[in-house]
Amino acid sequence: MVISKKILITGSKGQLGSSFKKISKAYNYNFIFTDKSDLDITNFDLLKEFFKNNKIDTLINCVAYTDVDSAEIKKSICNMVNYKAMDFLSGLCEKFNIQLIHISTDYVFDGKKDSPYNESDFTQPLNNYGLSKLQGEKAVMNHKLKNSIIIRTSLLYNDNGDSFVRKIINKIIKGESIEVVNDQFSSPTYADDLAHAILKIIPLISNNITEIYHYSNKGHCSRYDLAIKINEFINGDSKISSTKSKNETTVRPLYSVLETSKIINKFNLRLRHWEEALEEFISNQNFILNEI
């Protein structure tokens, strides 16, 4: 009798976590889905007891403080979730021999490069969100974890949460005029695609120290170009105008496109173009969009 791997998904009500939940039945794994209400990763005593009482093979950590503007104000909370909790969580994974898949961000880079960032490029965050995520990466790397990886991704979206894509969709459905920055470039990433990729590669990961990989849908665009494409796919008639980033309250990298060839070549993955993934996502959301 083959015993399926037991996978813990933390942050299961967030964007990526909810994608795992949606696609989970397609995979022969034994999933445990938790959110803050039943497993708060900043409650170290609770975490310790949970791992003592539950045999976990793989932890996919989808918990993160992702509100970039708020992270500048609520620094202690942001740092607790993105950095200090990851140090403790990684220590538990080391102690109980648990494979860790941790999700990080393109915002660990300063955006001054003019070509896609690879995994070994110099990191220099521009804001506290990016800094806290980088500190979380380093915390993971400081522990001796086998068959574990960190995946940096960018501009994540699905049908849950408060993503940039979802915000633009809501404004278009309401017929609002929209002003969007045209000087920030990255690769929109459909959370379902990332979730499928992770579940496919879990049994293929074999390393003695944690490795970093980049994952996003292929191609890249500005936030303005993305809003224009969303308007097109929805057949909306919103007036969309462009502006510069100088009016934003928090400094963000202007160019944070990720080079994804490492994860493609290592695990023989096919990554969809961001337009293909976005069109499918929107086509599947018609019943929701009509209710907004």
Tell me what pLDDT residue 287 has: 39
Say which residues have a Cβ less than 8 Å from residue 214's Cβ, sequence separation at least 6: 117, 118, 119, 151, 152, 153, 258, 259, 260, 262, 263
210 in a structural domain? yes
pLDDT tens profile 143-181: 999 999 999 999 999 987 788 999 999 899 888 889 999
41 in a structural domain? yes
182 in a structural domain? no
| Residue 61 in this model has a pLDDT that exceeds 80 | yes
Using pLDDT thresholds of 50, 70 and 90, give the confidence band for residue 289.
Answer: very low
Phi-psi region of 111 (alpha: psi -120 to 50; beta: other; left: phi over 0): left
3-state secondary structure of 189: strand
Tell me what pLDDT residue 288 has: 46
Tell me what pLDDT residue 290 has: 43
214 in a structural domain? yes
Q: How many domains does the chain have?
A: 1
In the chain, what are the helix, strand and coil shares in percent, each to the nearest 5? 40, 15, 40
Output the pTM of the full model. 0.93
Tell me what pLDDT residue 161 has: 73
Average pLDDT estimate for 236-261: 89
Tokens 């996502």 belong to 281
138 in a structural domain? yes
CATH number at residue 22: 3.40.50.720
Pairing of strands 6-10, 30-33: parallel
Range of the domain at 85: 6-161+188-219+256-272
Average pLDDT estimate for 110-139: 96
290 in a structural domain? no
pLDDT tens profile 191-244: 999 999 999 999 999 999 999 999 999 999 999 999 999 999 998 888 999 988
Tell me what pLDDT residue 103 has: 97
Helix (H) or strand (E) holding 87: helix 85-95
- 172, 115 Cβ separation under 8 angstroms: no
11 in a structural domain? yes
| Residue 2 in this model has a pLDDT that exceeds 60 | no
198 in a structural domain? yes
